[in-house]
Structure 1
């Protein structure tokens, strides 16, 4: 079973490959001139997508075409080059240009997942008997396109993470004059209202003690995006220990989510030569 369908992985790979520097097929400095052929980048990219989607270990996904060491080494090389972050930003810019980000209504929420291996972004989970867990504070636009995230230990409260999460708005260029931030009852405090007022944002915050369905309003977009993220098993049950690797996998997942939404929404807005016969 493919990790993601061909109509989605092909445009991702084309853009990803354009960001990679040229590398010789054989190492030219080898003294005997007989160094083994470099593993093709496309093979490693497909392996990383499989690790992200299925959550399997590198050793389990390795085969005769590519070893686990090569997958990890190429992953770290691409992280140092910033390729994953660039891919996410290019996908976001393309979506904004072709469809348009809904930035006058944004939503922020925290999501706790498992982190059995511990690591830099892990801590005692208050919802899993004190086991190791990770929290992400996620910001999305009015449709659910991921705009930015902050990683923290599972025992961190959502409210202190709101400010660093909203800082990602500075990376989006021109913003609407009026922005409404939709938050759940965990943010219902004077500190949160003061923070939003300092930034010139309007808060639509659920009140503590009231039934959630009555106040759901436009927060369901961020809940749906959290579900999209948790469909990637590497993010739902994270064994990575270093935060930069976790961020790289999140950037790749964000790019997949954004491009998938772009293709689906562009199907009703545009016509092109190889346009699918039906909406994906």
Structure 2
């Protein structure tokens, strides 16, 4: 149990093994036990047990799935590392993550950083096989514009899934992709009720002089002031 508790601390805190190690358990022991348990399938069984328990107590939203990829650095290389297109060709990996409608991770696929997202969609969706035949009849897969191509649509059609894919060349928000229309009220507030909030103060234009010209003055128009003036009487005098 000591080694397992240490591994949980590494996952939760994101710290190095040397930072978690102490007199009761060394970093070498943690790495050795981790590799042994991975080869024995202990973590795979534990992960499935956690998902099954969550599904019974709260419920997984398997009718709405989201797949997306992210690129992370891999300075030490590795079997799955490749040239990163966003890090000047340095070594990196891409993680294609599958989550349910509430953001609960269901599985991921690791590949080289230069792999296209759409090429990783099929192996990522295959992670649903862990649930066997306990899947909804109608499944909707939400994807961003990186999956907007014919191969993705053909794959979803072959799997019998509906796809909601953002169009390339058009910027969309996260709630618009997921269909949450109520959040659009926050993006478009009623401006007439809050006039001139983006102009909290009015400052005058002051010409900058060099040290030799600091005693040289320009005439200031009467309608300009050299001090900051608030636009309303109740404006706070200091930041909270």
- TM beyond 0.5: yes
Residue matched to 1:89: 48
Higher mean alpha-carbon deviation, 63-72 vs 201-210, is at 63-72
Matched, 1:209 2:169: yes
Cα–Cα, structure 1 residues 214 and 146, in superposed 2: closer, same or farther, change >3 Å?
A: closer
Secondary structure of 1:186's counterpart equals: helix
Distance 1:90 1:121, change over 3 A: same
* Deviation per residue, 1:186-211 (Å, 9 max, x gap): 00001110010000011100000112
| Unaligned stretches of 5+ residues in structure 2 | 181-240
Correspondence for 1:130: 89
Distance of 1:109 and 1:55 partners within structure 2:
22
Cα offset, 1:129, TM superposition: 1.5
TM-fit CA distance, 1:217: 2.5
2:59 to 100, 103, 109: 100
Q: Specify the SS of the correspondent of 1:208.
A: coil
CA distance, structure 2, for counterparts of residue 177 and residue 134 of structure 1:
34
Structure 1 match to 2:6: 47
Q: Mark the CA change 1:181 to 1:74 in structure 2 (over 3 Å): closer, same or farther.
A: same
The aligned residue for residue 179 of structure 1 is 139
Q: Aligned partners of 1:72 and 1:148: how far apart in 2?
A: 23
Equivalent pair of 1:135/1:151 in contact (CA under 8 Å): yes
Structure 1 runs of 4+ off > 4 angstroms? none
Taking a change above 3 Å as real, the CA distance of residues 215 and 73 of structure 1, as seen in their structure-2 partners, is closer
Which residue number in structure 1 is paired with residue 209 of structure 2? none
Q: What TM-score results when the alignment is normalised by the length of structure 2?
A: 0.70
For the 8 Å contact 1:148–1:165, the answer to whether it is kept is yes
Residue 215 to residue 194, structure 1, CA distance change in 2 (3 Å)? farther
Structure 1 stretch 166-175 or stretch 57-66: which is displaced more? Answer: 57-66
Summarize deviations over 1:86-113 as a string: whole Å, max 9, x none.
1110010011111111111111000111
Q: How far apart are residue 176 of structure 1 and its match?
A: 1.3
The number of equivalent residue pairs is 179
Distance 1:215 1:142, change over 3 A: closer
Report if the CA contact (8 A) 1:178-1:201 is conserved: yes
Task: After TM superposition, give the deviation of residue 214 of structure 1 in Å.
Answer: 8.0
Displacement after TM superposition at 1:46 (Å): 2.2
Structure showing greater Rg: 2
Give 1:215 deviation, angstroms: 7.4
Instruction: State how far apart, in whole Å, the 1-side matches of 2:78 and 2:108 are.
Output: 18
In structure 2, how many angstroms separate the alpha carbons of the residues matched to 1:179 and 1:168?
A: 14
Change (3 A) 1:219 1:168: farther
1:65-84 equivalence runs, <5 A: 65-84=24-43
Q: Give the conservation status (yes or no) of the 8 Å contact 2:74–2:81.
A: yes
| Shift of residue 50, structure 1, vs aligned partner | 2.7
- Between 1 and 2, higher relative CO (CA 8 Å, sep ≥ 6) is seen in 1
Q: Does 1:155 align with 2:114?
A: yes
Query: Unaligned regions of 5+ residues in structure 1, if any?
Result: 1-41, 221-280
Kept in 2: contact 1:115–1:133 (CA 8 A) = yes
Question: SS state of the match for residue 70, structure 2?
Answer: strand
Cα 1:44–1:166 change in 2 (3 A) is same
1:172 Cα offset (Å): 1.3
